[in-house]
């Protein structure tokens, strides 16, 4: 998947992660808006920092975040700080 474009894709995502995280993820994917510290750590594939930054709900959903990255998000949108930065810069132009 190169882009998350369809509402169907967002419905699949919404079924996987806590509802309070959907808007921040969507803003990041569509508009390059920097996410909060937990979501940034997840997107940068830094699960140690993600655990430190997570609220209690997201701690329980770490497995879902990993599945989301691998199965739903564009490969270019996550994986390292450089990829996350490039994704945001490309969407803000």
Classify each residue of 49-59 as buried b or exposed e, where b means 16 or more C-beta atoms within 10 Å of its C-beta: ebeebbeeebe
35 or 7: which leads in pLDDT: 35
Per-chain mean pLDDT for the chain: 91
What global pTM score does this model have? Answer: 0.88
Between CA 82 and CA 93 the distance in angstroms is: 17
Compute the C-alpha angle 18/21/25, nearest 5°: 130
Between CA 42 and CA 80 the distance in angstroms is: 9
Confidence band, pLDDT 50/70/90 cuts, at residue 3: low
CA-closest candidate to residue 37, choices 52, 53, 60: 53
List pLDDT tens digits, range 19-28: 999 999 999 9
């Amino acid at each position: 998947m190169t882009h998350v474009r369809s509402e169907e894709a967002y419905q699949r995502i919404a079924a996987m992660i806590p509802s309070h995280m959907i808007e921040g993820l969507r803003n990041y994917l569509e508009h390059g808006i920097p996410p909060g510290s937990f979501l940034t750590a997840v997107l940068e594939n830094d699960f140690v920092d993600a655990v430190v930054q997570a609220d209690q709900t997201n701690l329980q959903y770490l497995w879902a975040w990993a599945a989301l990255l691998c199965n739903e998000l564009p490969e270019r949108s996550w994986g390292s700080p450089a990829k996350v930065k490039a994704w945001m810069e490309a969407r803000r132009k």
